[in-house]
């Protein structure tokens, strides 16, 4: 320790300034102290963990987490740990936060140890944080570890959130069971009533008239040739209808919903979090295929999101999915070691199952529709942002393509590519708005070649 | 009896047809008329392939080569590289080639979700507390420059990943220009 101070004194003026600075802050602190005491009764009220939390989240959380190593070390109880293990006081923390490169340069032993341990990346200086700000942040990091979230329904069965999900399902089945029982009782009652009535009739010797049996309905039917003919025609037409229906849906995969190797919820990503489709499917802008994101795109966010929020986890239970396990699957595939925060290099490709697949004889280009045409992804793929499990929404048949080409007006406004052709064609057809079909969207060779 | 048989047969046919139609399971692909016209002989994008060691058709360019239309980014992904880029790297596109509309469209897709559409570090994921600690572009401690913005888009930094595979070189520079505009707006 002494040695490091020695070197500190030997060092350049930069460090001298640093020391002066330190004394200065402590003087200011003392002044602040007196001022504080005059205005407030308790000093502790000044260290506000709530304020600290928001400061932590805006400034520190990009590199530090409370209980887990990130780009920088975990920060839970950092002040106490530094004091116990390294003998470093709050002044050291102030200096480090405001200008860590200077502390490292000063030859401070612990600062250099940390610097080397974390890949020689110096912490970004935060000169804008005041002593109070840093104290608040430290108060936040000193907050005790929150107890494991217990099921609130055990402690407080009538509490909010407890009469949702599971109990609701239970009550539904209960109602159904009650209804079934009611119907069974009714049926039983009717049978019993009928039986007693019969007994009464027998006891009073009343003969129940039996309806005379005429020619059976089948025989009457056979004898009526017109009816036979109509029925035959009906059945032929009906079977023709169903056979046609069956043959027409061969090769159509509408509603195809395979089980993917990693449960990826478009509902959460594109819906709740509002991530643009083109964030992950970036090549839809510029190429034929829309692109299945490589795992580094997933890791852009999931490097920091290793667990989902408790609400999201609860939502997952209704779908029978543990989202945290799915994130672990991603880490395994990407070869990411979450505790050490580094790639192990042991990656394996995820074998996603392709859903939308046009036959080989049809050509479709995403960029042509997405970038040039400006068509929303949902036009063809349906409400993906609501789908928990991805499925094929459209039939992707030729008739479906053609229909859209006939009905969709081409967006020519602000698109210099179309200016000339639009002028010529709108004159030719005598219309103001051109459909894709009028621009040649029905030519065979556009899609089949 | 005779008619009974007929209706019976018809019902059987009817039920069979219905069962065929309804057996169309959601997790399985449908039948195809002529699979050899449906399925490509050539490799399709991302298809598995025995021809390569890692079992997929999509391959990275051979080490030391560049795909056509790409150019070499020589600065390394190290702390020194970052400082070098920050100090020296400048944009190859001149002011007339900068298209803020393109830049904004791309920025809103790829960056705005965390950095916020104004660049203040309050994107939707930050507001929903999914990702925390995204700095504002006018952050004094970071003092980003043209070169550092491009370098970070290229390689990523800390928890931010690389966006080199989502944005082409030209698009990256357009985004850099737009980020600088946002930074200037924030500093006003």
Domain ranges for chain B, please list them.
79-187
Q: In this structure, are A383 and A427 located in the same domain?
A: no
Q: Let me know if residue A113 belongs to a domain.
A: yes
Indicate the residue among A113, A142, A171 that finishes a domain: A142
Q: Let me know if residue A403 belongs to a domain.
A: yes
Report CA-CA distances (Å) from A261 to A326, A327, A400, B76: 9, 12, 30, 35
Q: In this structure, are A123 and A244 located in the same domain?
A: no
Q: How many CB atoms lie within 10 A of CB A301?
A: 21
Indicate the residue among A110, A142, A174 that finishes a domain: A142
Q: In this structure, are A296 and A376 located in the same domain?
A: yes
Contacts of B160 in chain A (CB under 8 A): 300
Report CA-CA distances (Å) from A186 to A181, A182, A191, A192, A193: 9, 6, 9, 10, 10
Q: In this structure, are A62 and A136 located in the same domain?
A: yes
- Reported as a single tens digit per residue, the pLDDT across A41-62 is 444 446 777 888 777 877 787 7
Q: Mind telling me how many Å the CA of A33 is from chain B's nearest CA? A: 28
Q: Let me know if residue A19 belongs to a domain.
A: yes
Percentage of chain B modeled with pLDDT above 70 = 92
Give the one of A218, A360, A361 whose C-beta lies nearest to B4's C-beta: A218
Separation between Cα atoms, residue A122 and residue A98, nearest integer Å: 12
Can you list the alpha helix ranges (DSSP code H) found in A40-86?
49-55, 78-81
Q: In this structure, are A287 and A417 located in the same domain?
A: no
Contact B158 A245 (CB under 8 A): no
Q: How many CB atoms lie within 10 A of CB A229?
A: 10
Contacts of B138 in chain A (CB under 8 A): none
Report CA-CA distances (Å) from B64 to A413, B60, B71, B165: 44, 11, 12, 17
Q: Let me know if residue A10 belongs to a domain.
A: yes
Contact B130 A258 (CB under 8 A): no
- Reported as a single tens digit per residue, the pLDDT across A122-156 is 787 777 788 888 888 888 887 776 655 454 444 44
Q: What is the pLDDT of residue A23?
A: 53
Q: In this structure, are A403 and A388 located in the same domain?
A: no
Burial class of residue B88, CB neighbours in 10 A (0-12, 13-18, 19+)? exposed
Q: Scanning every residue of chain B, which has its alpha carbon at the shortest distance from the alpha carbon of A310? A: B130
Residues in chain A: 449
Q: Let me know if residue A427 belongs to a domain.
A: yes
Q: What is the pLDDT of residue A12?
A: 42
Q: What tens-digit pLDDT sequence spans chain A (449 residues)?
A: 444 444 444 444 444 444 445 555 555 556 555 555 455 444 444 677 788 877 787 778 777 877 777 777 878 778 777 777 777 777 888 888 887 778 887 878 787 777 777 777 778 777 778 888 888 888 888 777 665 545 444 444 444 444 444 444 567 889 999 999 999 999 999 999 999 998 888 888 877 666 666 678 888 888 889 999 999 999 999 999 999 999 988 888 888 999 999 999 999 999 999 999 999 999 999 999 988 898 999 999 998 888 888 888 988 988 889 999 999 999 999 999 888 888 888 888 888 999 998 888 899 999 989 988 889 999 999 999 999 999 999 999 999 999 999 998 888 777 777 778 888 888 888 887 888 888 888 999 989 97
pLDDT band of residue B44 (cuts 50, 70, 90) is confident
CA-angle at B61, arms to B159 and B75, nearest 5°: 50
Give the one of A235, A276, A296 whose C-beta lies nearest to B109's C-beta: A276
| Residue in the block written with tokens 């912490």 | A123
Tell me the two tokens of residue A251: 């090769």
Q: Mind telling me how many Å the CA of B102 is from chain A's nearest CA? A: 12
The count of structural domains within chain A is: 4
Indicate the residue among A374, A394, A414 that finishes a domain: A394
Task: Report CA torsion sign: A16, A17, A18, A19.
Answer: positive
ipTM of the complex: 0.84
**Domain with residues B79-187, CATH architecture:** Orthogonal Bundle (1.10)
Q: In this structure, are A115 and A42 located in the same domain?
A: yes
Domain, as residue range, for A353: 266-394
Q: In this structure, are A378 and A402 located in the same domain?
A: no
A409: helix, strand or coil:
strand
Q: Let me know if residue A180 belongs to a domain.
A: no
Helices A310-319 and A165-203 cross at an angle (nearest 10°) of 30
Q: Backbone dihedral region of B119: left (phi > 0), alpha (psi from -120 to 50 degrees) or beta?
A: left
CATH number, domain of A88, equals 1.10.760.10
């Amino acid at each position: 320790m002494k040695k490091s101070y020695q070197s500190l004194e030997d060092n350049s003026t930069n460090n001298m300034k640093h020391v002066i600075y330190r004394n200065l802050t402590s003087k200011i602190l003392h002044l602040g102290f007196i001022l504080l005491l005059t205005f407030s009764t308790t000093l502790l009220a000044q260290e506000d963990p709530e304020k600290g939390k928001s400061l932590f989240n805006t400034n520190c959380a990009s590199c530090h987490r409370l209980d887990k190593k990130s780009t920088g070390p975990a920060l839970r109880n950092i002040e106490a740990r530094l004091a116990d293990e390294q003998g470093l006081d709050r002044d050291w923390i102030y200096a480090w936060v405001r200008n860590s490169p200077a502390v490292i340069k000063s030859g401070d032993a612990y600062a250099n140890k940390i610097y080397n341990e974390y890949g020689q990346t110096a912490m970004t200086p935060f000169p804008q944080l005041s002593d109070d700000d840093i104290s608040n942040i430290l108060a936040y990091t000193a907050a005790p570890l929150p107890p494991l979230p217990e099921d609130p329904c055990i402690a407080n069965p009538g509490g909010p959130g407890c009469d949702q999900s599971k109990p609701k399902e239970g009550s539904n089945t209960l109602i159904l069971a009650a209804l079934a029982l009611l119907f069974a009782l009714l049926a039983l009652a009717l049978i019993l009533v009928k039986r007693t009535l019969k007994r009464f009739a027998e006891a009073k010797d009343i003969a129940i008239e039996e309806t005379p049996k005429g020619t059976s309905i089948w025989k009457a039917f056979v004898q009526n040739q017109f009816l036979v003919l109509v029925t035959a025609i009906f059945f032929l037409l009906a079977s023709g209808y169903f056979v046609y229906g069956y043959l027409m849906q061969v090769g159509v995969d509408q509603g195809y919903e395979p089980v993917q190797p990693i449960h990826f919820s478009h509902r959460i990503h594109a819906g709740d979090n509002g991530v643009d489709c083109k964030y992950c499917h970036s090549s839809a802008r510029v190429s034929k295929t829309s692109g299945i994101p490589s795992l580094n795109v997933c890791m852009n966010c999931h490097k920091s999101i290793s667990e989902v929020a408790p609400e999201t986890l609860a939502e997952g239970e209704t779908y029978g999915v543990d989202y945290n396990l799915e994130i672990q699957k991603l880490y395994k595939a990407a070869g990411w070691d979450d505790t050490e925060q580094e790639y192990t290099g042991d990656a394996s490709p995820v074998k996603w199952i392709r859903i939308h697949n046009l036959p080989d004889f049809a050509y479709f280009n995403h960029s042509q529709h997405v970038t040039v045409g400006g068509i929303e992804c949902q036009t063809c793929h349906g409400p993906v942002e609501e789908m928990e499990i991805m499925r094929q929404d459209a039939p992707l048949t030729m008739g479906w393509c053609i229909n859209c080409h006939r009905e969709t007006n081409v967006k020519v406004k602000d698109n210099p590519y179309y200016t000339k052709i639009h002028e010529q064609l709108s004159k030719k057809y005598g219309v103001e708005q051109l459909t894709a079909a009028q621009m040649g969207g029905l030519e065979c060779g556009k899609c089949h070649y | 009896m005779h008619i009974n048989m007929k209706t019976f047969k018809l019902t059987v046919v009817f039920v069979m047809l219905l069962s065929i139609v309804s057996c169309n399971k959601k997790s399985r692909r449908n039948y195809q008329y002529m699979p050899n016209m449906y399925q490509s002989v050539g490799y399709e994008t991302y298809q598995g392939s025995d021809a390569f060691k890692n079992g997929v058709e999509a391959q990275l360019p051979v080490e030391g080569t560049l795909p056509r239309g790409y150019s070499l980014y020589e600065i390394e992904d190290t702390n020194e590289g970052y400082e070098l880029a920050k100090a020296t790297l400048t944009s190859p596109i001149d002011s007339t080639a900068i298209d803020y509309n393109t830049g904004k469209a791309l920025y809103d897709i790829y960056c705005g979700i965390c950095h916020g559409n104004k660049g203040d570090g309050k994107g939707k994921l930050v507001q929903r507390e999914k990702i925390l600690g995204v700095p504002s572009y006018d952050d004094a401690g970071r003092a980003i420059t043209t070169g550092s913005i491009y370098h970070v888009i290229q390689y990523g930094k800390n928890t931010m990943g690389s966006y080199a595979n989502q944005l082409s070189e030209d698009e990256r520079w357009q985004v850099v220009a737009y980020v600088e505009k946002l930074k200037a707006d924030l500093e006003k």
